[in-house]
Each structure stands twice: as C-alpha cells, then as structure tokens.
Chains A and B, each alone.
Chain A
C-alpha cells in the first residue's frame, strides 16, 4: 500500500501489541520506545462507523516527509506509523505510532509531536456515519491548538 516501509495505510484491522513487539525487537542501543494507539470512539451512540479516506501515494508521502522531520528534530533512531483507512468500527484501533530514541524524553516528545500533526494536518478526509446520517469532520480547534504547540 505504501512505498515507505515505516508507514502503512491499511484497510484491515491491526493488533497494536504485535506492532509494538516487532518494533522493539532487535534493538541494543535504543533506550526508549514510546507508543500511542488511537481508538475509534462511539461518541455515545452518535457514531456507528468512522470512514477515513486517504489519497494513496500522496497521504503516505506527506506522512513520510513529516516523520523524517520528526526523526531529525528529536534525534530518533526509528519510528513506525500505521494508520487505518476505510470503515472503522468503535473500539477498533485507528492509528499506531511508535518512536525509538536513546532516552525517554525524545521518544515521548516525538510520539506526541507526530500524533498532533497526524490528528490535525495529515491528508485524510473523515466521515462519521451515525443514526442521524453522515457528516464530514474537520479538525477541532483543540486539535489545531495542540499542533501549534510545536510551531
């Protein structure tokens, strides 16, 4: 699905624990791995299914450019980003981000930085399907404020 081995866009559900285990394997200089898993919320019955659209070849390239910036900024050893696309049911994982660094502060901060960007600026189009119909969603003011912390 993508030409960037550290980045996957997938229409299938994934197991975050397996991704984290694989990401941690075979490292003997990485002192810290931080990870984040985002799950689809039911919004108290308002959302039955979330639908995420990407532009393959464009969305993954944009994520790769930003992730490489994060890698340089936080001196990361490595990162792994997996993002669901298509229809996602409440409770399923939408996004997995893991960062590896020499020490914990860089790993935590890079993970936070990547998530703020992914939530507010990554090229996805998101639609919520609920009992009252469908609606397209744009980033919340909070998402934008979170992303601006790093500018």
Chain B
C-alpha cells in the first residue's frame, strides 16, 4: 500500500489529503486514482505538479515499495 498525500489546491479538488492506495508503481497508482476520480488524475498530471517519493522529488516512472509515501505537489507559493 502506498500512502498518498495531496497538497494545496490538489487536496481541495480531491476532497482528501491522505489515502492508502494499492499500487506497485507510480503508473499503476495514477491508474487507480483515475478509476476513482478522472478529474483528479488529470490535475495530478497537470503542468507544474511534482511528485515526491519518500520526500524526494522524482521525475518520470518509479516503482513503489510497500509503505512508500507518494506526495503530489502543486506549484509552490513560497512562504
């Protein structure tokens, strides 16, 4: 199970901030999220949205071990 975290406008859009999803890769995680909420999946792939796996930014595809934390980060605002 991956622990999925959403931040900023993505959490507002989804209506949740944290959820466990069964997925062995980032691609299968996106598919699982798309099956539940296609609009959210589109937003997660939108411009400027970065992905962090266990708190490190990743680009492209990634495999997910058990208990991996996957965060979707919309463009950052600064403090």
Contacts and interface: CB of A to CB of B under 8 A. Distances in A.
B5 A55 contact: yes
Contacts, number: 55
Q: Which bucket holds chain A's interface residue count?
A: 20 to 34
A118 B76 CA distance: 11
Q: Which bucket holds chain B's interface residue count?
A: 10 to 19
Interface stretch (B19-27, B29-37, B38-46, B67-75): B67-75
Contacts of A95: 79
A137 B74 CA distance: 11
Interface string B1-14: 00001011100100
A85 to B, nearest CB: 9
Given A58-B71, A123-B73, A125-B8, A52 B55 contact: no
A4 interface: no
A57 B55 contact: yes
Nearest to A81: B79
Interface of A: 38, 52-53, 55, 57-58, 61, 83, 94-95, 118-127, 136-139, 143
Given A55-B7, A55-B71, A58-B55, 18 more contacts: A55-B5, A55-B52, A58-B71, A61-B55, A83-B79, A94-B79, A118-B78, A119-B78, A120-B78, A123-B76, A124-B78, A125-B9, A125-B74, A125-B77, A126-B78, A138-B75, A138-B77, A139-B78
